[in-house]
Amino acid sequence: MSYLEATNDLYKQAALTPDVGLCCTTNPVWQLPGLSIPVVMQEMNYGCGSTVSASDLVNEPKVLYVGVGGGMELLQFAYFSRQVGGVTGVDVVDEMLEACKKNFRIAEKENSWFKSEFVNLLKGDALNLPIESESVDVAAQNCLFNIFKTEDLKKAVAEMYRVLKPRGRLVMSDPVCEQPMNDALRNDDRLRAQCLSGSIPIKEYVKVLTDAGFGTIEIRARKSYRVLSPNHYPTEELIHIESIEIAAIKDPMPDDGPCVFTGKTAIYFGGEPYFDDTKGHVLLQNQPLAVCDKTAAALAELSDEIHISESTWHYDGGGCC
Ligand SMILES: C[S@@+](CC[C@H](N)C(=O)[O-])C[C@H]1O[C@@H](n2cnc3c(N)ncnc32)[C@H](O)[C@@H]1O
């Protein structure tokens, strides 16, 4: 059985019987006016963060969500979109699509604004999406792509890039890991499918996105996720896994490379009213400007009267590019 078949098998079981400990997130259950998330959707929350952000969802975007799980994030996207077919969910596992559909009927009873037709559920594979090119404004996936091995991950990202309109955005949450993992962990299909042993360092994850052509990257959150300890897993050292929330925007690639925002800020403290790098970045005296890592490095080279803060890993808009 290939690791992809093992993954399908695991999520077939997780569709038939909700597995509360699988994946799991520290994000609170959403409390928004008129929104009720059915308990079964919470039990089937197999994500590791959130991909739904109101600021991505202006102007009635067409949303695509790959790897539907129990449907919780589809319901959250539909909360903002509220139009028939405004959100499309794709999953390769029949049982998961069926469970999601069933959960929508429960959601209809708890949410007077919600209709199942707001979400179009489709059988399909992240590696070969049944979606027209350049037809989507916001594409999302939560805790699926970390499962994929390198070549499949590249394929899945290329598929998302293909279906997005120019300037469209890919929003994701995935586990990441800065420590090396041994082959016993990497080659354990079940641990991989459980989102425990496929994760890669943030820098590599970002590179897959920028290599696919995304010109702007935003790291929106970074949180502790799990540990793999020697007493429970085949490892001699404790491995710490984190999860990130990240957006990749289909902006044209700048000539000098992608803009990757990790939450750095530049503040000019020299004697002039402002500092102008003549490349579009004007720093007013003692005013913060959110900058991408590339600009942060360039500004630090240009002047020793600019304070560059560390990455907060919590970029939420604004800034330089
Ligand atoms: C870890 S779960 C995440 C579910 C959901 N995104 C959430 O946050 O609760 C992975 C999901 O991806 C689906 N899946 C697995 N392999 C897939 C593939 N190759 N293409 C599309 N969906 C896939 C599974 O059936 C499952 O619904």
Taking the C-alpha atoms of residue 43 and residue 299, their distance in angstroms, rounded to an integer, is 47
Q: How many other C-beta atoms lie within 10 A of the C-beta of residue 247?
A: 23
For the chain, the distance separating the N- and C-terminal CA atoms, rounded to the nearest angstrom, is 46
pLDDT of res. 317: 82
Pairing of strands 239-249, 216-228: antiparallel
Taking the C-alpha atoms of residue 47 and residue 63, their distance in angstroms, rounded to an integer, is 18
Q: Is 45 in the pocket of ligand 1 (CB under 6 A)?
A: yes
Q: Cβ contacts of residue 39 below 8 Å, gap of 6+?
A: none
Taking the C-alpha atoms of residue 316 and residue 224, their distance in angstroms, rounded to an integer, is 19
pLDDT of res. 74: 98
User: Which value, to the nearest 10 degrees, does the dihedral of the CA atoms of residues 247, 249, 250, 253 take?
Assistant: -120
Q: Is 242 in the pocket of ligand 1 (CB under 6 A)?
A: no
Taking the C-alpha atoms of residue 174 and residue 245, their distance in angstroms, rounded to an integer, is 7
Q: Which of 10, 20, 93 to mutate for ligand 1's pocket (most ligand atoms within 8 Å of CB)?
A: 93
Ligand 1 center–CA 181 separation, angstroms: 23
pLDDT of res. 48: 94
Residue reference for tokens 């919590």: 314
Atom 3 in ligand 1: which residue has the minimum CA distance?
46
Atom 4 in ligand 1: which residue has the minimum CA distance?
69
User: Per-block average pLDDT, block size 10, for the chain (321 residues)?
Assistant: 96 90 75 94 94 95 98 97 96 98 98 98 98 98 98 98 98 98 97 97 98 98 97 98 98 96 98 96 96 97 98 86 58
Question: Are 122 and 143 in contact, with CB atoms under 8 Å apart?
Answer: no
Question: Are 235 and 273 in contact, with CB atoms under 8 Å apart?
Answer: no
Q: Is 244 in the pocket of ligand 1 (CB under 6 A)?
A: no
pLDDT of res. 231: 98
**DSSP string of 142-170, one letter each residue:** ESSGGGS-HHHHHHHHHHHHHHEEEEEEE
pLDDT of res. 20: 76
pLDDT of res. 195: 96
Taking the C-alpha atoms of residue 245 and residue 225, their distance in angstroms, rounded to an integer, is 12
Token representation of residue 319: 């800034």
Number of helical H runs and strand E runs in the chain: 9, 13
Taking the C-alpha atoms of residue 290 and residue 316, their distance in angstroms, rounded to an integer, is 9
Which pLDDT tens digit goes with each residue over 276-310? Answer: 999 999 999 999 999 999 999 999 999 999 999 99
Pairing of strands 259-261, 87-91: unpaired
H helices within the chain, ranges in order? 3-16, 39-43, 72-81, 94-110, 150-163, 183-186, 189-193, 202-211, 293-302
pLDDT of res. 191: 97
**DSSP string of 1-65, one letter each residue:** --HHHHHHHHHHHHHHS--TTSS---SPPP--TT----HHHHHT---SS----GGG--S---EEE
